[in-house]
Amino acid sequence: MNSDIQDERPQLLNRLFSSRFAGYYLFALVFVLLSFLIRVALFAKTFDTLDPGLIAVMRIVLTGLFYDVVAVSYFSILLVLYLTALPDRLFGHPLHRLIFQGIYFIAIYLLVFNGVAEWIFWDEFGVRFNFIAVDYLVYTREVIGNIRQSYPLPKLLLAILCVTSLIGFGIWRQGWLQPSFAVATRFKQRAVHGLILLAAPIGFYLGVDASLADISPNRYHNELAKNGIYSLFSAFINNELEYDLFYLKRDEKEVFAKVRERLTTPDALLATTDPLDITRAISNLGPEKRLNVIYLTIESMSADFMALFGNTEGLTPNLDQLAKESLTFTNLYATGTRTDRGMESLVLSLPPTPGRSKVKRENNEDLFSSGFLFQQRGYDTQFIYGGYGYFDNMNYFFSHNGFGVVDRTYLAANEITHENVWGVADEDLLRRVILEADRAYGEGKPFYHFVMTTSNHRPFTYPSGRIDLPTGSRQGGVKYTDWAFGDFFKRAKERPWFDNTLFVITGDHCAGSAGKTDLPVERYHIPLMIYAPKQIAPRMEAALISQIDITPTVLGLLQWSYSSRFFGQDIFRSLPQSRRAFIGTYQKLGLISGDRLTVLLPQHKANSYRLGQNSQILLPEVDAEGLQDAISFYQSANIMRKKGLDKKLP
């Protein structure tokens, strides 16, 4: 850098750029500026969902700046250690200058790459990086494949390279790093400087968490105030949230007494006097029905895709017709925003405890599950999935809880007409479902098969000529899945087992979870149709029902008597005052009861909302009864998990 350029700069900048730690300060500046630009881009993308008053905007900007500083302090720890430890004779060597500038270029490339990744993640989930992103780091094959099939990846990478090159050229052209290589420093001097810089991330780690971004009732404001890299780090550190450490709680016996009371009905009596045992003896009159049961769980199936719930795009003609011919539930809510949460609810009938679902937790074998209940009655039980079931630990979970497994690896080449990174086309999967049902029927066994589709997932590709929408859009994914279901039922009606089969058609979760509030209720609304034209008269059922109630309700329709550790209940035998629905994320735990939503938050907090037809209003005070119920259900579910009380009965 020549002296003229140096003289034109303010004295403070001259001092910074003449320091051994110039590389750190310059990197921090680039980091904060890029983070600000990402925030501006996301702000513009979601502008119509914000409350853009001046004070609100300033709170987003200032809180965001704070988290950007926190994030760069973490991100730069190795850089600070490196700048502190390297001796002058090596630091100023010409070869080291080239190596250092190369590493610098890579670091800036990663920052720009992160910005693009944040945009894609926000486009899919409406939030900054979170627990989902941490999981995606584990399943890189599916995630990278999904991005390749959904976005022009080579063009994106080239664009990132071009932006990085422009930034790098500006830095090298101005010569901002060059003076630092020539500065002579003693180790003691560097150590003091380095320790001062390292004190920042240590202090932030001890005193800062994600809750400081909760600056508004509008959830988008809170997400914009975060930093994506910090959020990823926070989710990674907190991927197992201990209920006892983070959430409101009560005495163990008190919460179990409330749950035992809520779950007791004349048809579901407590089996023991143990105060920590929710086991009930479920009794149904009449002989048990040994009907076949097929759960058809549709990927990302929001209720509002169907004309039944007001959609006018004509995406689901086959499902809408099935709804007219089925026992159809119009007020059902999924427990979570991920497929594994839906599976947990349908198989284990558990509320969504914080952190990971039981599908991905350790010690998830031999749980009290629908698989074992059917297996004990001589049913053929199978988990049938169009993708590779190692994803999200699905194969392990199902195979250790009463199911056989049929996934993508079991399908022969001639069974597949189309596939993408997530799995085979739904029509291929559903044809295999018929083959598995034929096999079980031929063996003289009733069957319980749990089916999970994949086509209604980005990149939304499917065979050509099936529908009138091109591949690549959510609408196309929904309409193709609907077509596949129409084709499936045409084939199934020709089978000898059709008249004796209950088809349970529902979603694993909604297509999106973004909203202004902690837990936007409308983003958990999914359909449920129980279709069995020879067994169940069609009608609409408007009672509030949780995803965890589906299996107990199906068992009630089968008139089974059994011992249960399910938290769910047969909706037709439940008491009206005990009807509720559980919704949640990996951090926020909600309970819907009547027109109230109570949300348990980390840091021992809670909020209550009044629910209207199209509104969700934060109440000034937490609803006392809703809070007691929410704590009771979630805390007791956590206690059962920790103490192994959720295992199958002897």
Domains annotated for the chain, with CATH where assigned, are 3-239 (no CATH), 246-643 (3.40.720.10)
Query: pLDDT-derived band of residue 342, with 50, 70 and 90 as boundaries?
Result: very high
Check residue 434 and give its pLDDT. 98
Check residue 238 and give its pLDDT. 64
Tell me the per-residue pLDDT of 284-336, one tens digit each, with 9 for 90 and over. Answer: 988 999 999 999 999 999 999 999 999 999 999 999 999 999 999 999 999 99
Q: Percent of the chain having pLDDT more than 90?
A: 68
Find out whether 515 and 306 touch, Cβ atoms under 8 Å. no
Check residue 246 and give its pLDDT. 82
Please state which of the ranges 5-9, 349-353, 394-398 shows the lowest mean pLDDT: 5-9
**Torsion of the alpha carbons at 238, 243, 246 and 248, rounded to the nearest 10:** 160
Count of CB atoms situated within 10 Å of the CB of 101:
17
Sign of CA dihedral 338, 520, 637, 593: negative
Check residue 599 and give its pLDDT. 96
Q: Say which residue the tokens 């810089």 belong to.
A: 197
Check residue 5 and give its pLDDT. 44
Check residue 138 and give its pLDDT. 60
Check residue 13 and give its pLDDT. 54
Average pLDDT over residues 491-514: 94
DSSP summary character for residue 382? E
Q: How far apart are CA 496 and CA 82, in angstroms?
A: 72
Q: How far apart are CA 597 and CA 586, in angstroms?
A: 17
Does pLDDT of 626 surpass 90? yes
Tell me the per-residue pLDDT of 371-386, one tens digit each, with 9 for 90 and over. Answer: 999 999 999 999 999 9
Does pLDDT of 617 surpass 50? yes
Exposure of 391 in the CB half-sphere (CA atoms within 13 A): 23
Check residue 19 and give its pLDDT. 79
Check residue 4 and give its pLDDT. 45
Does pLDDT of 127 surpass 90? no
Check residue 146 and give its pLDDT. 65
Q: In what order do the strands lie in the sheet with 562-564?
A: 268-270, 280-282, 562-564
Tell me the per-residue pLDDT of 15-69, one tens digit each, with 9 for 90 and over. Answer: 656 778 888 998 999 999 999 999 999 999 888 888 878 898 999 999 999 999 9
DSSP summary character for residue 391? G
Q: How far apart are CA 589 and CA 335, in angstroms?
A: 9
Average pLDDT value for the chain: 90
* Total count of residues recorded for the chain: 650
Check residue 240 and give its pLDDT. 64
Average pLDDT over residues 566-582: 94
DSSP summary character for residue 649? P
Q: Say which residue the tokens 């199958």 belong to.
A: 648
Check residue 285 and give its pLDDT. 85
Tell me the per-residue pLDDT of 129-161, one tens digit each, with 9 for 90 and over. Answer: 876 677 666 656 666 776 777 778 888 889 999
